[in-house]
Structure 1
Amino acid sequence: MSRTDSNPTVPPSRSDARPLVRMLLRDPAPLLAVCVLLVIVFSALFGPLLVGEATTKPNFALRNAAPQLEHGLAYILGADNLGRSVLGRLVLGARTTISIAAGAVVLSLSIGGALGLLAGSRAGLLSDVIMRLTDIIMAFPSLLIALIVLYLLGPGIGNLVLVLAVTRIPIYLRTVRAEVMEIRRRPFVAAARSMGAGQGWIMRKHLIPLVLPTLFTIAAVDFAAVIIAESGLSFLGLGVQPPDFTWGSMVAAGRGYISSAWWLAALPGAMILATTLSLAVLSNWVRLATDPAQAWRFFRASKGSTT
């Protein structure tokens, strides 16, 4: 019997996902968040194959039709001002919204993480330059930077991903730099260096594995923040342009019909809320469950429920 099985107060290790899965199955809030996210991701990946042309083909006979089942499952959430299926547009909007958010998060995580490793592992002029550039970016509100850049470059998916990534880089950079500077002072790093290990080996074997869990937790929260930022920019007309659309642009298109067809703005807004709230709940649970100072509570509760 392993130590984790025999002692309920010992938190599960990061490398073994099975205790985390068992704890997740017994915690309703993060389990519901996972289910919501899985449904949204599945819809974004495979939904466009199922909704058909009701998403893009106008049907003026169903203009601003209320949610119903008379005209098939495609109109269960109603139709927009051109008679297109709101359900289908939510599915297609999910694909665009998630793609933009994923691209921005991956790009900012990669650039910010690499620069943070460089700034934290090598003190000197290069580190100072990197941090001063970061301070300059953080000195301006991210939404203001996005508005200025998109006004100059023009709206579009590529420009939107780029500007959202640039505004999020300082978050990863400063976090990684702080983590690396703290890890460098630990005894095992000093022991590896005294045995002749190079900086590259220490970075691959010690620094990056210890920094990655923190980065992934931040990325989950940042994913929600990017979705909100993208929705705000699309609502202002500086995001994705027709014929492409996102949940934010759907809210903008439906605001003129809020009194007569509330579902045009309320449903994409509800999708934004459900996605960001689920990401926040899940990321907070993962942070606590993988924290040795907090995880014992989850693990002890899960062990107690089986006895």
Structure 2
Amino acid sequence: MDIKMIGSKIAKVRKEKNMSQSQLAQLLFISPQAVGKWERGESIPDIVTINQLAEILGVDLNYFSENFQSTYDEAAFKAIDDNEDIEQTDQEVANPSREERQLLTNFSGSSLSESDFAGVTAHKRKFNGSALRGSDFSGADLTGSSFTASDVHEANFDGTNLTDCTLSANDLTNASFNKTILIRTTFSASGLAGATFTDAKLIDVKLAKTDLRKTVFKNCVFNGVDFKYSDLRGLCLDGQTFIGVKFDKAALNDATFNGATLKNVSFRPTYALTNKYYRAIKTICFDGAMMDKLTYAELKGLGAELSKVTFI
């Protein structure tokens, strides 16, 4: 395997995404020096990290192979070879159709910090590798859109429709999700420190491989949510409602569910139970919580302290 070739490919696509080594390192939870070593051909990422890189940089996994050849240049030459097509394109740019106007809402790789997207309708759009810090998406309908490897620090998603949206490997620090519509939304490997979810209903949402220790949830309803491989240690979930939620592979040490409502909630991991897992469950506080008998039985079997729990 040619490590210099892989390093140059990482550097090339990173620069195309207008992403610094530090930004890429932050999304991978590694040091910028490690990224620098890859790009100089001094070391090589392992296979797990290669998969993460492909997801963050928005490329096919085969991109990093020696035999991968891009078809973009061929397609580009073919597109400009026909003068008639060029003239038609010029006309459409001058007076774009409704379909063309929609296509212009692809903002991948753009620098759009503090931009105003409030109230817009932009279905299935891509905001990948973009600088969107402090941008206002309040009240917008972004159904089916994707945010990947973007800086969305302090963005406003209050009242935004994020149905079927994918937010992967983003910096969402201090973002606001007040009364946001979250249906089948996926948050993956993203930074949500200081992000606030208030009066939100999360329906069939996935919060995967995400550090939620400093995320704030207030008066939320979690219905069918999966916290796969996420870190919820010390998280306050008091007073929230959980229905059909899976905490199977999440870190929950010292989390609190005081006064919460839990129905058909799963805490049992898919892997073998260990003493470490039993100890972690015992650190969770359920004082004043209400739960159905099946959830209660599962937690009791795992050794949780349930003396102050009542049945629904």
Under a length normalisation based on structure 1, what TM-score does the superposition of the two structures give?
0.21
Q: Which has the higher strand share?
A: 2
Higher RCO (CA-CA < 8 Å; seq separation 6+):
1
